[in-house]
Amino acid sequence: MTARSRVAFASGAAGLVGATLLLSGRFDGSVALALLFAWGARVAVDASLVDAGPILASGATQRLAQQASFAPAWALVIATGVLRAGTSGLADLRGVNGIAGLAVARGDALSVVGAWCALAAGALAIASRGSNGIETAAPSGSGARVMPPVSLRRLDAGGALAQAGLLATLFFGPQIAEATDVVWWAAGVAALAVVAWEGRRLTFRHAPAVAAALGAAGLALVLIGGSP
């Protein structure tokens, strides 16, 4: 294992911890900072594999480029959520979702549609990720699969959950004051996790462009529709 892999993994773990602490409300911070942390966790998985030998490295390099191509979509998603809520603080965002109503249900019709577009863009960005494993030919002629270590797969899952939590904070996660508020979070994050899990099997070549287009549409609609 190379030093670069270790540093990449350490960066990802630090990013995941930071994102978790911010999203769980232990520290107050900006949604942009949470995005950078969660992004770091997701990217670290492939960064750890870049030096991992020719088989795993080729897939990792492609996935790094794939992740980078989703950057505009994430920027648009964040901008949509922040513009709709009128604030970039995570605590304030949850407060807005609690008081003014969830972005995906309350407010001007155009803003609601815009929030759904941005949510779809974010879900697409979470789900669109090449498989971690690589198919190879076994000596006997049967197929074999080289998988990365389980710790990397866990880090990947953690990063995806952090990104799902970020989407929940932006669009459908209210400040938790009573038990019913938890339902929104649990159901939403679970749904996004299922989408991400199932999305691994699908290959959609133009996903970054579609996600960016959805994010741009969402931002435009929220700009027209305004805050609640």
Partner 1 sequence: MSVAVILVLVAPLAGALLAPAFGDYPAQRRLVVGACLAAMLGGAALALVRTVDGSPVAWRGFTFDVWRAVLVAGAVFSSALAVARADEHERAGLVQAALFGGTAALVAPLLLTGAHTLAVALPIGTLGVAVAAFALTGDGPGLLRGGRSVGALAASDVLALVVVGMALSKGTRLPQDLSLVGGFLLLAAAALRLGLAPLASALDDSVEADAGLGLLFNGGVRAQGFLLALMAVGSHRTVAYAAAAVGAFSLLVVAARAAFARSAEAPGASVASTGTAVALIGFALGGTPATWGAVLALAASFAAWPLWSAGVPFASTARASLAALPAGGLLTGSALVVVAAVDASTARPWFLALALPAIAALLSIAAGVWESRDEERAGEPIAGGVVAAIGFATVLALAAVPARAASGLGIPVANLLGSGRLLTTGSAPGIPEDLAAVALAAAVVAFAAGPGRLGRGGAPGRRRIERSRSFLDWWARAASAPSYGSTLARDAATATARRWGAAGALLFAVSVGLALRVYIVAAGRGFL
- Which residues in 159-218 contact partner 1 (CB under 8 A)? none
| Smallest distance, partner 1 to C-beta of residue 49, A | 7
Evaluate the CA torsion angle 22, 88, 98, 127 in order and state its sign: negative
Q: How many Å from the N-terminal Cα to the C-terminal Cα in the chain?
A: 51
The residue (of 75 and 176) whose beta carbon lies closer to partner 1 is 75
Position 18 contacts partner 1 (CB under 8 A): yes
The residue among 54 and 141 lying less far from partner 1, judged by its C-beta, is: 54
Nearer to partner 1, 80 or 172 (CB): 80
Q: Using CB under 8 A, pick the residue from 23, 59, 67, 107 that binds partner 1.
A: 67
Tokens, residue 172: 């459908």
Give the nearest distance from C-beta 190 to partner 1 in angstroms. Answer: 25
Tokens of 203: 């290959």
Helix (H, G, I), strand (E, B) or coil at 103: coil
The verdict on 47 binding partner 1 (CB under 8 A) reads: yes
C-alpha 83/C-alpha 215 separation (Å) is 13
Q: Counting contacts by CB under 8 A, is residue 149 touching partner 1?
A: yes
Tokens 């389980």 map to which residue? Answer: 150
List Cβ neighbours of 104 (8 Å cut-off, separation of 6 or more): 112, 115, 116, 119, 171, 172
Residue 61 is a binding residue for partner 1 (CB under 8 A): yes
